[in-house]
Amino acid sequence: MTADVQAGAPAIPAATPTAAVATAGRPRRAPWRILWWLIFLAGVAYFTLPLVGTLAFSLRAIPPLSAYTDILTDQQFFTSLGYSFVVGLLTIVISISLMVPTAFWVRLRMPRARPAVEYITLLPFVVPPIVLVFALISTYSHPPLPFTHTDIGSTALLVCGYVVLSFPYMYRAVDVGLRSMDIRALTEASQSLGANWFTILTQVILPNLRVALLSGAFLTLAIVIGEFTMANYLARPAFAPYLSLLGSNEPYQQSAVALVSFGLTWVAMGFITILGRGSRSKIAVTGAR
């Protein structure tokens, strides 16, 4: 290529960049790379320091590791974390099932409804959680929909509340993911091949949203595990109420629990990543891999 250009034509200024690309082989030059490393490492330092601070404080207990051993011997730590994790998974599934079709439909067919839908998804930020939970209890503690009369019903109400809390994050994640693919072309192609809406959503759109869905799932799980007000007032055995009970009684243990739950949530998210990697058979046509 380079030889052709040099032999066939008089000096064409455009030859130089092409040559540079062809000979360099790497699109990014080394000096820039250092800058990106610096940015990354500065961020990592910012994230790590407060965790180190918490660790240092938790080790002030006497004896130093007692805060941690106390946790591991407390049965309730694991049951409450387990409960929150299960509720989190349910919330993720329902939220994805609700948000992906909605975001897809808005982008494809109803762009004018977008501001309204976006506003509704952002409302959970400004409705105080205590108002939300008391309103839900007031509405659903009697027929026709007496959720709170049973344990399962109360948990179901909690899950629905958490789906609402996940609205902003899940919608935004899915929306950003959908932007990076040409859903119009994909939809038409699928329709011309005879697919119905369900098939389009599950076999074409979803596989291409893997990264976005992972982000949404992570954010939702984090919310569920950290959420206190709703779980508390609905009298659910979740993790955050357990953590707060600890906090008022055991200062060193509270910090230890925060770190341990940090770590366990990380493991849980790794678990979700593996789950999400499952569908290798579907080929990502375009967009995020």
By CB under 8 A, tell whether 269 contacts other proteins: yes
One residue of 79, 244, 275, 285 binding other proteins per CB under 8 A: 244
User: Shortest gap between Cβ of 243 and other proteins (angstroms)?
Assistant: 8
By CB under 8 A, tell whether 102 contacts other proteins: yes
Contact 287, 204 (CB under 8 A): no
User: Distance between CA 149 and CA 234 in Å, rounded?
Assistant: 11
Residues 221-240 within binding reach of other proteins (CB under 8 A)? 221-223, 225-226, 228, 232-235
Q: Which residues of 161-170 are buried (b: 16+ CB within 10 A; e: fewer)?
A: bbbbbbbbbb
Q: Which is nearer to other proteins, 89 or 106 (CB)?
A: 106
Contact segment (CB under 8 A) with other proteins among 1-9, 75-83, 167-175 equals 167-175
By CB under 8 A, tell whether 112 contacts other proteins: no
User: Shortest gap between Cβ of 72 and other proteins (angstroms)?
Assistant: 19
By CB under 8 A, tell whether 265 contacts other proteins: yes
Residues 37-56 within binding reach of other proteins (CB under 8 A)? 37, 39-40, 43, 46-47, 49-54, 56
User: Distance between CA 99 and CA 208 in Å, rounded?
Assistant: 15
Q: Specify the amino acid at residue 67.
A: A
User: Shortest gap between Cβ of 98 and other proteins (angstroms)?
Assistant: 6
User: Shortest gap between Cβ of 78 and other proteins (angstroms)?
Assistant: 18
Q: Which residues of 193-230 are buried (b: 16+ CB within 10 A; e: fewer)?
A: eebeeeebbeebbbbbbbbbbbbbbbbbbbbbbebebb
User: Distance between CA 212 and CA 231 in Å, rounded?
Assistant: 27
